[in-house]
Amino acid sequence: MAHTEVDSSLPIVWRDSADPKDYEEARVGRVFNQRRPQRFPIAVVLAETDSHVLQAVQLANKLDCRVSVRSGGHSWAAWSVRDNAVLIELGKLKHISVDKEAMIASVSPSTTGQMLNDTLSAEGLMFCGGHCPDVGLGGFLLQGGMGWNCRNWGWACENILALDVVTANGEAIHVDAKENSDLLWASKGAGPGFPAVITRFHLKIRKQIPAMLSSTFLYPIARYDEVMNWIISITPSFDSSTEIVAVSATPPGIDQLCIIPLFVTFQESDEECRVALQQANSTRPEGYLIEEVNKRTSLAKEYKDQANANPHGHRYCAENGYVKNDVDVAEVLKKAFTTLPTSKAFALWYAMAPCSRRELPDMALSMQSDHYFALYTIWKDEKDDDRCQAWVREIMKEVAPQCEGAYLGDSDFQVRQTKYWTDDKARTLMKLRNKWDPAGRICGYLDHGDQAGVAGLLNNDEWCNGY
C-alpha cells in the first residue's frame, strides 16, 4: 500500500521515509526504560483522536500487518515496540471527564494516575491508580492495577465499568456488563494480550480520603531478619485501611543499604490515622537509623517520592512473584534484599492480605498471594547491562520456585514466563483472544522471538533464551 493512499489527516511517521530522528523519537521517545529495544515498527501513528486509532487499525488491516499500542510507555520490556507493526502512540490522546453524580470518570489510556487524581481532587474525589505518577492507566488497568491501598480496596481493574474499543478488524464498539461482556472480563487482567485497542475507560471512582498519615522506619540492612519478620508478623492484625510495604534501598543522604518498613494509612481523621498506626509505632524494633512517626502525607507527596525512586533517564530490569503463603518469606527474600547491585536499585515486599484472602470477582486476573515481591534494578550506564540483568536472573532462579506465579506488569516474557492466571482463566482468556482476533492483528504477548501470536502464553514456568 502506497503512503499516498493513507488519509492525509492521519498523523503518521513511516519508517522508510521519515527523518531518522523523527522516526526514532516516535519509536521510543516515550519509552521510560532507557534500555531501548532493537525492534522497528513499519509506522507510528501519533493518535490525537479516537478516529486516528480507528484509522490506524484499519490501515494495519490493509497492510496485513500487526498493531501495537503505547499508552504510558512504562512497560519495562517496551511491549509497544514491535517489528513490522503499526504502533499506535496514544501520548497525545488526552481525555478526562468526570460525572460526579454517577461517580464515574472516563479517561483515555495515556492518562496517568496522577493526572486523573489531580482532576478528581478538585471535586473531593480520587481513584486508586498506580503509585508511580507517570504510569499510563491503559497498561496499569489491563494488567490488574496494584494501586493505592490495593491490600484493602482491591485491584484497580475491579473499577472498570465499561470500555470503548476498536476491534482487531477495525470496528469501534462499546463494552460493558451487557454488551460484549467477555471483553470487559478480559480487560481486568489480560495485560498486553487484550485483543482490541482501548480508546476510553469508564471507571468507578471514590470519595477522597480526608486524612493520610505515614510512619517510616529506616534500619541498616544488617537488621534485615528481625525487621522483615516483624513487619510480616504484624500485618495480619493490622488496620484494614493501611498500606504496608517493606523496601530495601539506599536512601538519599544515607550511604548504606537499608531495610525500610513503611505504613501509609487512609482514614477519616488524623486521630483515626494515629490509632491505626499505633501498632507499628509501639512494636517497631529498636536500633533504627531514622524514625518518622505519624507524618502527614498526601497523594501528591507520595507521587513525588515514587518519582524520585523511579528516576527518568535510567536503565531498568524488573522481576516479581507472589511468594507462597506457607514458606519462610523473610528467608526466601533475604538475598534479594541484601545484595542489590546498584545504589539506585530497590527490592519491595507488599502486603496483599486481606485482598488476597477474599474470593476475587469473575475476571481474568486470578493469581495472588499474601506476599507480593518485586525487584526494580536501576542503573545508568549500558556497560552495566549484563551484570545487572545477571543478578536479577540469579535472584529469581532462587525465588521463583517459592512463588505461586507473577504479576504481568513487572514481568518480561522474553526472559521468563510463569503462571499469570489460574489454569482455567488462562484457557478462557486464550480462547477469547482467538475469538476476537483470530488473525493475530493485535501484537499481544512479547515472548522470546515474538512468537506467541494468537496462541498467547502457556501459563507455566519457563526460562527463555537459554537462561
For position 136, which CATH number holds?
3.30.465.10
Q: Are residues 66 and 149 in the same domain?
A: no
Asked whether 323 and 333 are in contact (CB, 8 A), the reply is: yes
- 19 to 15, 16, 52, 87: CA distances (angstroms): 9, 9, 22, 17
Given a cut of 80, whether residue 6 has pLDDT beyond it is no
Q: Are residues 152 and 225 in the same domain?
A: no
- DSSP-assigned letter for residue 227: H
Residue position matching grid coordinates 477474599: 358
For position 9, which CATH number holds?
3.30.43.10
Which cell numbers hold the place of 117?
487524581
Average pLDDT over residues 75-100: 97
Q: Are residues 392 and 249 in the same domain?
A: yes
pLDDT tens sequence across 26-64: 999 999 999 999 999 999 999 999 999 999 999 999 999
Give the separation between CA 235 and CA 354, rounded to whole angstroms: 9
- 415 to 127, 279, 392, 451, 457: CA distances (angstroms): 33, 41, 11, 13, 13
Q: Are residues 164 and 181 in the same domain?
A: yes
Residue position matching grid coordinates 491490600: 151
pLDDT tens sequence across 229-272: 999 999 999 998 999 999 999 999 998 999 999 999 999 999 99
Give 432-449 as a DSSP string: HHHHH-TT--B-----TT
Q: Are residues 229 and 264 in the same domain?
A: yes
Give the separation between CA 467 and CA 52, rounded to whole angstroms: 41
Evaluate the omega torsion of the peptide bond into residue 354 and state whether it is cis, within 30 degrees of 0.
yes
Average pLDDT over residues 422-426: 97
pLDDT tens sequence across 279-334: 999 999 999 999 999 999 999 999 999 999 999 999 999 999 999 999 999 999 99
In the predicted model, what is the mean pLDDT of the chain?
A: 96
| Residue 439 within a domain | no
Give the separation between CA 199 and CA 187, rounded to whole angstroms: 13
Percent of the chain with pLDDT over 70: 99
* pLDDT at site 33: 97
Element (H, E) at 378: strand 371-379
Q: Are residues 63 and 189 in the same domain?
A: no
Angle at 373 between CA 34 and CA 459, to 5 degrees: 85
pLDDT tens sequence across 392-415: 999 999 999 999 999 999 999 999
* pLDDT at site 375: 98
> Any bridge partners for residue 462, and if so which?
417
Given a cut of 80, whether residue 7 has pLDDT beyond it is no
* pLDDT at site 8: 76
* pLDDT at site 18: 97
Euclidean distance between the first and final Cα of the chain, in Å? 41
Least confident of 30-34, 78-82, 98-102, 149-153: 149-153
Residues across the chain: 467
* pLDDT at site 300: 92
Asked whether 263 and 277 are in contact (CB, 8 A), the reply is: yes
| Residue 171 within a domain | yes
Q: Are residues 164 and 252 in the same domain?
A: no
Tell me the HSE value of 448 on the side-chain side, using a 13 A CA sphere: 10
pLDDT tens sequence across 177-192: 999 999 999 999 999 9
Asked whether 204 and 159 are in contact (CB, 8 A), the reply is: yes
Nearest to 406 by CA among 165, 143, 186: 143
| Residue 444 within a domain | no
Q: Are residues 85 and 113 in the same domain?
A: no
Asked whether 67 and 54 are in contact (CB, 8 A), the reply is: no
* pLDDT at site 389: 97
Q: Are residues 77 and 101 in the same domain?
A: no
Asked whether 245 and 232 are in contact (CB, 8 A), the reply is: no
CB burial string 343-375: b at 16+ within 10 A, e below? ebbbbbbbbbbebbeeebeebbbbbbbbbbbbb
Element (H, E) at 246: strand 242-249
Number of domains in the chain: 3
Given a cut of 90, whether residue 467 has pLDDT beyond it is no
* pLDDT at site 9: 86
Which cell numbers hold the place of 282?
509501639
* pLDDT at site 4: 53
Residues with Cβ within 8 Å of residue 203, at least 6 apart in sequence:
104, 105, 106, 107, 127, 159, 160, 161
Please, what's the largest Cα pairwise distance for the chain? Answer: 71
* pLDDT at site 110: 97
Average pLDDT over residues 157-175: 98
Average pLDDT over residues 112-138: 95
* pLDDT at site 5: 66
Give the separation between CA 400 and CA 404, rounded to whole angstroms: 8
pLDDT tens sequence across 330-349: 999 999 999 999 999 999 99
Q: Are residues 117 and 64 in the same domain?
A: no
Given a cut of 60, whether residue 2 has pLDDT beyond it is no
| Residue 362 within a domain | yes
The range of the structural domain enclosing residue 181 comes to 96-207
